[in-house]
Amino acid sequence: MADVFDLFEIIRTTRSMRRLKPEPVSKALLDTVLEAGTCAASGGNQQPWRFLVIRDPAIKAAAAAYYRRGWHEVVGPRYRAGGSAPTGTPESFERMLAAAEHLADHIHEAPVWIVPCQGGPRGSGASIFPAVQNMLLAARALGLGATLTTLYLIHEAEAEAAMGIPQGYHSYAIIPLGMPRGKFGPVRRAPLAEVVFDNTWGTAWPATEGGGPGAANGL
């Protein structure tokens, strides 16, 4: 398990862990993850979230059928027709696709799902996804594998009915959780110089202090 106080190490190694062991996750660990979720910011501190924790195999199986369909009929073919991620190689893209397909076929076997929900019309999720990220980081810190998934929303109404989400509420993700089969490793992301601009759109963030206009003022 990572040192829970090494936040940056946890952030850099919180990858999607799509191959999970079926062994149950203790309520104590789930409580820690869920509490981390409820520590997140929300607009006006309204804490609009409700978290449906699904461990019942029959409910997972019923909703997983829609996830599987979404992958095999829509998302899998779309990814296969497209190119790899900007920082990836064809090989790493193939590995990601294989892992995503594995998850699609086995998501119901994950011992627990956390389904973050919010009442009212479907919104941007801006008050939900901070809680989701907190939970992903907390899971990683505890040695639990997790993946933020949304592709089941292709069959939103059917999947939400299968999960028993009441009228007036929407789910924003399914997060399958369990002990990972593989190892945590560093995430693969583009360097800051490619994605950060310095004052002016298109001006690359400098590699060293002193490169930007603000530096002259000690900023």
Ligand X SMILES: Cc1cc2nc3c(=O)[nH]c(=O)nc-3n(C[C@H](O)[C@H](O)[C@H](O)COP(=O)(O)O)c2cc1C
Tell me the two tokens of residue 99: 């892992």
Q: How far is the CB of 197 from ligand X (least distance, A)?
A: 22
| Closest approach of ligand X to the CB of residue 75, in Å | 7
Give the residues lining the site for ligand X (CB under 6 A).
Answer: 15-16, 18, 96, 100, 103, 147-151, 187
- Kindly tell me which of 30 and 149 has the beta carbon lying closer to ligand X: 149
Query: With helix as H, strand as E and coil as C, how does 146-182 read?
Result: ECCECHHHHHHHHHHHHCCCCCCEEECCEEEEECECC
d(CA 145, CA 132): 14
Q: Minimum distance between the CB of residue 118 and ligand X, rounded to whole angstroms?
A: 15
* 88 or 212: CB nearest ligand X: 88
Give the residue with the Cβ less far from ligand X, 58 or 74: 74
Report the C-alpha gap between 115 and 168 in whole angstroms: 15
In the complex, least distance from residue 33 CB atom to ligand X, rounded to whole angstroms: 17
- Neighbouring CB atoms inside 10 A of 184's CB total 18
Q: How far apart are CA 24 and CA 131, in angstroms?
A: 23
Report the residue number, 195 or 215, with the smaller CB distance to ligand X.
195
